[in-house]
Amino acid sequence: RWSAVLPPCQRRPMARIAALLLLPVLIESAFSISFFLPVNSRKCLREEIHKDVLVTGEYEISEQANTKTNLKITDSSSHTLYSKEDATKGKFAFTTEDYDMFEVCFESKSPMGTGRVPDQLVNLDMKHGVEAKNYEEIAKVEKLKPLEVELRRLEDLSESIVNDFAYMKKREEEMRDTNESTNTRVLYFSIFSMCCLIGLATWQVFYLRRFFKAKKLIE
């Protein structure tokens, strides 16, 4: 737990610097989107999320007569993380077990034909990582002061940035290993191809030499 207390004159500059440095992380960890969903259609949103990350979301779908809208969240292995039939308004939350591509799908069903029912307005607000945590609840449980809560938030954001850099470094190493392996295979294949061409050219020389001698064109 953070226990340091800064003078008021130093809090504002540090908060501004921290906000500027951590702004990209905040943008990537939360997003809101609104779109129209035609009747008897299906729209999906996809996002890649790291391992062991808390994901929360809130949705609201405008109601239409004789129309049923289903919400389903799955991973790349088609495992269902959240499912709601006849969804209108609600919240969801889950924790990722591995780095994966997650899909949020809205499907509208109606016995009436397309064009007879107006499109439904879908509002979706998703957060993951630091932005998904309820720091007000944490402050109540752990009895933290406002400054301690902000320091806790900054600590979590810093940890998230470190984890992102560690993941990028790991991917870079994997890509480098893949490139080196590919280059080695290409080199061996090139050497093998050259040996085959040299062998074929040598065989052609001896074969043509024997052929010309048999025809008595050369001695």
List the domain boundaries for the chain: 33-132
Q: Which CATH number fits domain 33-132: 2.60.120.680, 3.40.50.300, 2.30.29.30, 3.40.50.2300?
A: 2.60.120.680
- Of 73 and 162, the structure prediction assigns the larger pLDDT to 73
How far is Cα 109 from Cα 37, in angstroms, rounded to an integer?
11
Mean pLDDT to the nearest integer, 167-172: 87
DSSP string for 101-165 = EEEEEEEEE-SSPTTSSPPEEEEEEEEEGGGGS-HHHHHHHHT--HHHHHHHHHHHHHHHHHHHH
- In sign, the C-alpha dihedral spanning 137, 140, 142, 147 is positive
| Phi and psi at residue 216, to the nearest 5° | 60, 35
pLDDT band at 179 (very low <50, low <70, confident <90, very high): very high
Residue range 67-79, pLDDT digits in tens = 899 999 999 888 9
| Phi and psi at residue 74, to the nearest 5° | -135, 165
pLDDT at 115: 61
* DSSP at 40: T
Token digits for 118? 């107006």
Residue range 99-121, pLDDT digits in tens = 889 999 999 988 876 666 788 99
The answer to whether 48 and 126 are in contact (CB under 8 A) is no
How far is Cα 41 from Cα 58, in angstroms, rounded to an integer?
21
pLDDT at 17 > cutoff 50: no
Q: What is the pTM of this model?
A: 0.60
Q: What is the mean pLDDT of the chain?
A: 81
The answer to whether 155 and 2 are in contact (CB under 8 A) is yes
> Helix 135-142 vs helix 146-214: angle between axes, to the nearest 10 degrees?
130
User: What distances in angstroms separate CA 178 from CA 141, 174, 181, 186, one per listed residue?
Assistant: 48, 6, 5, 12
How far is Cα 35 from Cα 121, in angstroms, rounded to an integer?
6
**Range with lowest mean pLDDT among 9-13, 109-113, 144-148, 164-168:** 9-13
Residues whose CB is less than 8 angstroms from the CB of residue 195 and which lie 6 or more positions away in sequence, other chains included: none
pLDDT at 114: 60
